[in-house]
Structure 1
Amino acid sequence: MPQPEKKLDPGASPQEWFGYELRLRRKAEELSARALGRLVQVSDDVILNIEKGKYPSCQRELAQRLDGILETGGVFDRAWPMAFDPRDADRKRSDADKRPAGRREGTVQVREGRILGRDEPSPRPGSPEPVDRRSFLQVSGLAAIAPIDLTQAFAPSGLTLPESVGASHIDQIQEVATSISSWDNTFGGGGMVRDVAGRAMQWSAGLLQAQCPEHMRADLFAAVSRLGVVVGASAFDSYAHEEATTTFKFAADCAEEAGDWHLRAKTYSLLARQAVWIGQPDDGLTYAEKGLVRRDRLTATEQAMLHTARARAFGKMGNVRDCMAAVGEADDAFTQARPAEDPAWMAYYDEAQHNGDTAHALFDLAILAGQDPGRAIRRFYTAVKGHSEAFKRSRALSRTKLAALLMAKGDPRQAAVIGHDSLDEVGRLTSRRAADDLRQLGAFASKHPKVQDAVGLRERITATVSA
């Protein structure tokens, strides 16, 4: 049963008045939130959140596009300074900055990043971005949110930290990151993997409080950034989304400090994928585009990775044209990949990974926009066949999505066979993402009540994966 719409109170705040007026005029034009979103180049979630007064940073250009589509005579443009003027947020931040500061031992404020200046617009990655994302792309790293307070973000309580950092400590961080990444890909991000990852992150972040020779400083920040990427990924897989986002952004800022464009790109790729996964494709698209800033500094493989993230965002929006274009750009970049030019930790992004990631974007087009499922099916087959035992989770995710697509758009009996193989593999993982994909497969199977193979698969999924 659909949920009743939130009752709006136009007198509660300027933002809620803005939202009330938007909903009123949208319905007068008999437009759904999704239809209006497509017309003004944002997702339906953005439209609905503006209407509910929950969207904090509507850009003025978006207000002007709404005026144009809804033919308001400029109502939203005139109301924008009252509801969304960023100077209000600046004043609030300024007031917060004036609060008395107590003595905070062990607190480290990360210095301004070396890659992009905080007060200058980021270089554009080629084609102009949709205007409602420009201001986001002008801010770098965690400075867009708040200064990093390591004591609060990753408090190393109960851990023994050295007084000064040496090369051996940096080597330890790198080796631990490699080990956790391997465990995460093999077993999933939950259970022991997440516990070990969290402790390792605390210890490594704590090293940023210790004395460090200047010539080692960039290497230290790069190592901590790499570990943050891995730890954030395990938290994402465990659905600890707030922790994952905080860790990814911390890793991005450390990459900025290290001057490492490759780690920076990887963190924004993961932020994009997580945002898409949790139903925020607009944010995912922003992160992916931010990762592509100065793409000339990135390898072809990294560019393919980020274009794939864009494709997944567009796919989740049901935007066929832009999704297919992004898949094409990802394919073009991947054909130019030279593994020898990539950082060692990018070795995971091989043919199987590329096909699986782009297939996820095409899956959404097939399900949400009625597109031909054949393209996604072929890519999923390639991914399942190509992933080794070292990447069981990626193989399981692609296999489950393949079964779901066949169940929804193809032969349910063939889908059931593949689905049982997925269950065999997922049962050994501590991955909530994999479990959720199985639930989706079960939902598609329930639409074939007269096909015994589908019924049997759904019953096994129900018995295996808790609701």
Structure 2
Amino acid sequence: MSLQLLDFDQRREALDVADSAMSSSRAATPRTVAMLSVRKARTHAALGETRECTDALRRAEAALDRAPSNDDPSWVRYFDEAEFSAQVGMTYFELGAAKEADSWFSRALQSGGGVTRQRDRATYLIRHAAVKVDLGELEHAHALCQEALPFLEEAPSARNGYRIGELRARLKPHVSRPEIRTLDTRLAASVV
């Protein structure tokens, strides 16, 4: 729920939900604690609270080091190394730390593994492309978008539509380049 609240820019409410989840997780498995800690880190990042964010990321990484457990509830088993890396990438994206976000997204999306769920993969590819634009790496951003487009078409999402809008705003200063203009048109057509 905290991630959904962040999507609607309800940052304080997201932190309240993350705090509540953390306080009720005392008997939770390490994987569950890692997932909840990353969500709390993301809320701190959205609020610009860097120290609290990095503290929560340290707790998440320490908890993930103790996972997996046969006791994990089924609803948290998706939270593996790839998902952890993607969520840390999202956290650094929120902080505006492009180099760190780039590194974590690269790890999450590595070929031969990484995030495999279509909608999630599309999300992280789009966010990684935005990071690449911020770093001035337009060719790499273009390649990431090209990889994302089939996933966006197969698993459309209103939230990814919003993320595409943010990416298109980043690309706007570069639409004089023919390949970016063509990409922008394709991205616009992919929005739900």
Same fold (TM over 0.5): yes
Matching of residue 465 in structure 1 with residue 191 in structure 2: yes
SS of 1:374's equivalent in the other structure is helix
Partner of 2:48: 318
In structure 2, runs of 5+ residues without a counterpart are none
In structure 1, runs of 5+ residues without a counterpart are 1-270
Report the residue type matching 1:375 in the other structure: E
Of residues 344, 364, 376, the one that matches 2:94 is 364
C-alpha separation in 1, matches of 2:102 and 2:63: 21
Matching of residue 354 in structure 1 with residue 84 in structure 2: yes
Partner of 1:407: 133
Of residues 368, 381, 404, the one that matches 2:106 is 381
Per the TM alignment, residue 318 of structure 1 is displaced from its structure 2 partner at its CA by 2.0
Using the aligned pairs only, state the percent identity: 25
Q: Stretches of 4+ moved more than 3 A in 1? A: 449-452
Report the residue type matching 2:134 in the other structure: A
Report the residue type matching 2:78 in the other structure: Y
SS of 1:318's equivalent in the other structure is coil
Partner of 1:297: 27
Give the alignment's TM-score, normalised by structure 1. Answer: 0.39
| Cα pair 1:273 1:284 within 8 Å, conserved | yes
* RMSD, aligned α-carbons: 1.6
Partner of 1:117: none
Q: Which has the higher contact order (CA 8 A, sep 6+)?
A: 2
Report the residue type matching 1:359 in the other structure: G
C-alpha separation in 1, matches of 2:119 and 2:170: 21
Matching of residue 423 in structure 1 with residue 153 in structure 2: no
Of residues 152, 160, 163, the one that matches 1:434 is 160
Q: How does 1:21-170 map to 2 (within 5 A)?
A: none
| Cα pair 2:129 2:167 within 8 Å, conserved | yes
Matching of residue 280 in structure 1 with residue 10 in structure 2: yes
CA displacement 1:37-96 (0-9 Å, x = unmatched): xxxxxxxxxxxxxxxxxxxxxxxxxxxxxxxxxxxxxxxxxxxxxxxxxxxxxxxxxxxx
- Which structure would you say has the larger Rg? 1
SS of 1:342's equivalent in the other structure is coil
Partner of 2:181: 455
Report the residue type matching 2:99 in the other structure: G
| Cα pair 1:442 1:457 within 8 Å, conserved | no
Per the TM alignment, residue 294 of structure 1 is displaced from its structure 2 partner at its CA by 4.4
Report the residue type matching 2:184 in the other structure: R
C-alpha separation in 2, matches of 1:322 and 1:306: 14
